[in-house]
């Protein structure tokens, strides 16, 4: 729609409007806890009062390191309602990885859980240098030197509601909403800064395009720390008035039972989720007739899978999409009436109000059917990288085009097919992996002199990391020892699934590791 006709909004406006529009309609169900939209708005205000009492000022960062629980959402919208900037942390991070993000963002407050799947988050940070962090709150469970969520909320009781309303009213759509960190080819994570208005417009448009409705029961499997679970997840649901049902930890039997019990209509996720549903030996014992909408991506989607999702699982709408953190999570989307072949073979066309082009090495637009780097422009493009003007200049040109680093082909109708990556990034089960980041961590392991990492095909996860290592003289490291060490020092999706030891890494004329040569060696060295 034309810019002059669009009414930009802030997040507190969106939640307040949802409460007025949907009132007693269920907003969130998380186990025994159910909140209506009126109650969600009240919880937002209560949390916002506590943030004011804690001294949070506009623009200060609040980090959340926790799995998909309802308190995550309330903490986020509470902080964002009074000008706080959300910084989500990956639940698979180890202490050093989380500490890097906390330091880089200058987060003043951290909201976490005492334990999740054997990871004790506060304990992992005990020996980390975090000069800006003033307060840690546990959303669930108790941990030493941490304030409980209940005590945090109670601390705001003396703050007038009018103060929250004043601060929320002072926010503009151009104020920063969040900073999501995404690793770069240098190996150092970069903070993507986006604002209230652009995120809300992006997911209003996304919701309208995929057909998310207020009567949908939305099973959010994707993690809240990722734009798919946060922005295309609970934020899109609030914008649409849909019912949010967070999944704490994916278990296929539990999900099948919940689809029947809660009449789930919307399930997002990578293709493996739908393949698992189809392959379940007792699938026919469950009533899956409520399923209506599926949004997938992050990996190739076979034509036959699209057909089975429609014909066997009963989805009325199956769409794929493509995006990146720098585009608020969305670049292109298929349409509901696209054919199975188009959904399988493309990632859709530009979201309404945005532009996509494929360009050659000189930045010149290439024609349909010709490979080129994908550039994107529009209201969904990030403001900048946090405290990183050099990286910002490299990613954004003077005309506002974002250089994605992905290679694709566009057809005559504007549908894009991703064919490769200029960057070395590869995707493991839907998670982006950057070789330089893994290499840097591996080189901290005693006995390793040099490391090079590439992505290799994997039937289950799409791609996984393979490490090529040069040992220090006199060491006798083996593959099992390296993988075991890596599991303790990096998120599990980054851990190499195979290791090749070399006397030296191949180098190109520029003195850099020749990863093309490593890729050629793979079949002989598996």
**Domain of 430: which CATH number?**
3.30.300.30
Whether 412 maps to a domain, the answer reads no
Whether 119 maps to a domain, the answer reads yes
Whether 387 maps to a domain, the answer reads no
Q: For residues 201 and 353, give the distance between their C-alpha atoms in angstroms, rounded to a whole number.
A: 10
Query: What 3-state DSSP class applies to 49?
Result: helix
Q: For residues 246 and 222, give the distance between their C-alpha atoms in angstroms, rounded to a whole number.
A: 9
Q: For residues 388 and 468, give the distance between their C-alpha atoms in angstroms, rounded to a whole number.
A: 31
Please state, as a whole number, how many other Cβ atoms lie within 10 Å of the Cβ of residue 391: 17
Tokens of 156: 């705001």
Question: Could you tell me the residue range of the domain that residue 183 belongs to?
Answer: 9-197+208-238
Whether 385 maps to a domain, the answer reads no
- Find the CATH number of the domain harbouring 102: 3.40.50.980
Whether 303 maps to a domain, the answer reads no
User: Which of 220, 238, 256 marks a domain boundary?
Assistant: 238
- CA 207, 208, 209, 211 torsion-angle sign: positive
Based on the structure, what is the number of domains in the chain?
Answer: 2
Q: Nearest 5 degrees, angle CA 54-CA 191-CA 28?
A: 60
* Predicted TM-score of the model (pTM): 0.85
Could you tell me which residues are beta bridge partners of residue 231? none
Closest CA to 345 of 301, 311, 409, 298: 301
Whether 497 maps to a domain, the answer reads yes
Local confidence pLDDT in tens for the 526 residues of the chain: 445 588 999 999 999 999 999 999 999 999 999 999 999 999 999 999 999 999 999 999 999 999 999 999 999 999 999 999 999 999 989 999 999 999 999 999 999 999 999 999 999 999 999 999 999 999 999 999 999 999 999 999 999 999 999 999 999 999 999 999 986 444 678 999 999 999 999 999 999 999 999 999 999 999 999 999 999 999 999 999 999 999 999 999 999 999 999 999 999 988 878 988 998 999 999 999 999 999 987 666 778 889 999 999 999 999 999 999 999 999 999 999 999 999 988 999 999 999 999 999 899 999 999 988 999 999 999 999 999 999 999 999 999 999 998 888 999 999 998 876 676 778 899 887 877 778 878 888 888 888 889 999 998 899 999 999 989 878 889 999 999 999 999 999 999 999 999 998 887 544 567 888 888 775 444 4
Whether 498 maps to a domain, the answer reads yes
User: Which of 181, 216, 238 marks a domain boundary?
Assistant: 238
Whether 1 maps to a domain, the answer reads no
């Amino acid at each position: 729609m034309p810019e002059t006709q669009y009414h930009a909004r802030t997040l507190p406006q969106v939640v307040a409007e949802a409460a007025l529009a949907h009132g007693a309609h269920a907003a969130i169900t998380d186990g025994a806890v159910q909140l209506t939209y009126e109650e969600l708005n009240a919880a937002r205000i209560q949390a916002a009062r506590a943030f004011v009492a804690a001294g949070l000022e506009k623009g200060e960062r609040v980090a959340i390191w926790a799995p998909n629980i309802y308190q995550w959402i309330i903490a986020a919208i509470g902080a964002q309602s009074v000008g706080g900037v959300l910084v989500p942390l990956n639940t698979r991070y180890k202490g050093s990885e989380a500490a890097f993000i906390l330091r880089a963002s200058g987060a003043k407050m951290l909201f976490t859980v005492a334990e999740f799947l054997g990871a004790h988050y506060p304990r992992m940070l005990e020996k980390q240098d975090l000069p800006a962090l003033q307060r840690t709150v546990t959303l669930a469970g108790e941990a030493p030197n941490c304030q409980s969520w209940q005590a945090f909320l109670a601390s705001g009781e003396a703050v007038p509601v009018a103060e929250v309303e004043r601060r929320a009213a002072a926010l503009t759509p151009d104020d920063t909403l969040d900073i999501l960190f995404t690793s770069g080819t240098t190996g150092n994570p970069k903070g993507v800064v986006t604002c209230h208005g652009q995120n809300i417009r992006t997911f209003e448009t996304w919701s309208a395009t995929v057909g998310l409705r207020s009567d949908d029961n939305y099973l959010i499997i994707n993690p809240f720390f990722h734009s798919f679970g946060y922005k295309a997840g609970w934020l899109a649901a609030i914008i649409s008035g849909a019912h949010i049902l967070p999944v704490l930890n994916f278990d296929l039997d539990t999900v099948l039972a919940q689809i029947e019990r809660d009449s789930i209509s919307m399930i997002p996720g990578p293709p493996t989720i739908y393949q698992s549903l189809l392959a379940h030996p007792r699938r026919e014992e469950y009533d899956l007739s409520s399923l209506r909408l599926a949004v997938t991506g992050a990996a190739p989607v076979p034509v036959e899978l699209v057909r089975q999702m429609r014909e066997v699982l009963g989805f009325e709408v199956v769409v794929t999409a493509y995006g990146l953190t720098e585009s608020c999570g969305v670049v292109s989307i298929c349409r509901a009436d696209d054919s199975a072949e188009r959904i399988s073979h493309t990632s859709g066309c530009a979201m309404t109000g945005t532009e996509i082009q494929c360009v050659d090495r000189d930045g010149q637009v290439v024609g349909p059917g010709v490979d080129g780097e994908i550039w994107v422009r529009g209201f969904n493009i990030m403001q900048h990288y946090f405290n990183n003007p050099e990286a910002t200049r490299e990613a954004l040109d003077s005309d506002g085009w974002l250089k994605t680093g992905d290679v694709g082909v566009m057809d005559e109708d504007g549908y894009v097919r991703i064919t490769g990556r200029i960057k070395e990034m590869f995707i493991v089960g839907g998670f982006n992996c950057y070789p330089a980041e893994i290499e840097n961590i591996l080189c901290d392991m005693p006995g390793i002199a040099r490391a090079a990492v590439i992505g290799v095909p994997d039937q289950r996860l799409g791609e996984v990391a393979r490490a090529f290592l040069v040992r220090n003289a006199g060491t006798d490291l083996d593959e099992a020892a390296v993988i075991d060490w890596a599991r303790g020092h990096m998120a599990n999706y980054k851990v190499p699934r195979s290791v090749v030891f070399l006397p030296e890494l191949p180098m190109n004329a520029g003195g850099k590791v020749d990863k093309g040569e490593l890729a050629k060696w793979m079949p002989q060295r598996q």
